[in-house]
Amino acid sequence: MSAAAELLVLERRASLERLRASASRLAAHPAVALGIACVGLVATFAGMLASGRSGPIGTIMFVPWVALLAARLGPTAGGLAGVAATGLYLTAAEVVGLPDDPAALALRLAPLVGVGVVAGLSSRRISSDALELQATNALQRALLDATADGICFTDAAGRLVFANAPLQRSAIELGLPPYGSVTDRLLTLADRTTEPGRFRERMQELASGHAASEDEFELTESGRVFCGSTAPVQRADGTLVGRIWALREVTADRRLERLRDAFVAAVSHELRTPLTSLSGFLELLGDEEDSLALTGRTYLNAARRGTARLQRIVEDLLLVAQIEAELLELRTEPIDLMELAAAAVELARPAADEKRIAVTLDIEGPLALEADSVRLGQVLDNLLSNAIKFTPTGGAVVLSASSRDGRRCIEITDNGSGIPHDELGQVFSRFYRGSSATRRALPGTGLGLVIARAIVEGHSGTISVDSREGEGTKVTVALPLRQPDGGTYR
């Protein structure tokens, strides 16, 4: 079927649906229902007069109209309608000349009144349930329409069942066709994306499978970026009901990230050159340190510390840029983890001594490992620096390492301020500074854990943080004994 023909069929279906809905609303109106029931009662009465018969069949002919009145007006009105129908029946019987039998009155009155009362009670319960269901559906629809994300649901066969207002607006803006499955409609965007081949491949995978997925795509002509996700919807017994789809525009977020990355890269490169010159001049000045007065030597040491700190920040920024560009290089070689950990502890000891913090190394003996000693040492330096920074004066920090389940495990434990539970999920985010660091004005860039995780995962390892506010923090690093490539890799 051509697109034009399918559109015509859809328009006709929509017209019939609107007609059916209008008829349903009209029939549901109490005044209309009352009119229909009254006309039905009179018509039944006239039919009995015309036919000259008023047997038991007459009672049955009055039942639908009594039930209709009861359904719309309740059990009391239904009972009265039953009495009125019985009166019409007996009037018809008298007009056509049938004998007035009291037993006939009881036999005709009881069923009609009973039908009216029962129908009214049932209708009231059904109407109450229907109104509650309508209110719930309306609330759910309003909630879905109020979300920022476009959301739709498809049944197990892939047919579109529901789409909220934001998704309908997005579909119109993107020019998606009003027919076909979700993947078929999205496939029409393939040639307009920056990666048409990858986009088609993902749509084909989604069309043939039911796994959860999340992807981003960018439109070439407008530069708009969208994040789409989908997941299966299942009953409690695991039976597939359908799929839920969500679409969100993230253009502003991606532009902000690109601006931030460009700014960080520019600042890092611009700072690197003057810092190199400054460090050189400080080294030259250090050659004449003996000729300086005490105050001059104090200023020189302060300048050295400040320059070294700025250099570390610049190096961290450049390293994060490499990580984001997936250009982090690791050169692995056989190393001894005990020697690396001991060097990291000695490097951290001066900062710990200033706060009278006891730094302890707990390793049973040599632990052979394949790793990039420079980068892994950077991980230990960052983790020890964080532990000392957030541990109060007189506290303790322990670095331990051991073999566990065929992996080398490193744990750095402190009894410091800890991390609030609601912040644990953000500690590996770029530039994130916890509430404790902000409140106590502790120095830092929020890049230490980001760099540590990237280096650890580059070694095919894992890193996790376990912390309780006010009790302390434990960071665990697990590394394989050997690297899969055994050399330089990315």
Domain ranges of the chain: 3-146, 150-249, 254-324, 333-480
Mean pLDDT of the chain: 76
pLDDT in tens, 265-310: 777 677 777 777 777 877 877 777 777 788 877 887 788 777 777 7
| Predicted local confidence at residue 1, as pLDDT | 47
CB 337 within 8 A of CB 367: yes
pLDDT in tens, 196-244: 999 999 888 888 888 888 888 899 988 899 999 999 998 888 888 889 9
Task: Name, in order, each residue with C-beta under 8 angstroms of 183's C-beta and a sequence gap of 6 or more.
Answer: 158, 203, 204, 206, 207
CB 210 within 8 A of CB 156: no
Architecture of domain 333-480: 2-Layer Sandwich (3.30)
Whether 150-249 shares its CATH topology with 333-480 is answered no
DSSP state of 163: E
According to CATH, the topology of domain 150-249 is: Beta-Lactamase (3.30.450)
pLDDT band for position 411 (cuts 50, 70, 90): very high
pLDDT in tens, 302-360: 887 777 777 777 777 777 777 777 777 888 889 888 998 899 889 888 888 888 999 88
pLDDT band for position 364 (cuts 50, 70, 90): confident
| Predicted local confidence at residue 7, as pLDDT | 46
pLDDT band for position 486 (cuts 50, 70, 90): very low
Taking every pair of Cα atoms in the chain, the longest distance, rounded to a whole number of angstroms, is 141
Task: Name, in order, each residue with C-beta under 8 angstroms of 15's C-beta and a sequence gap of 6 or more.
Answer: none
| Predicted local confidence at residue 83, as pLDDT | 61
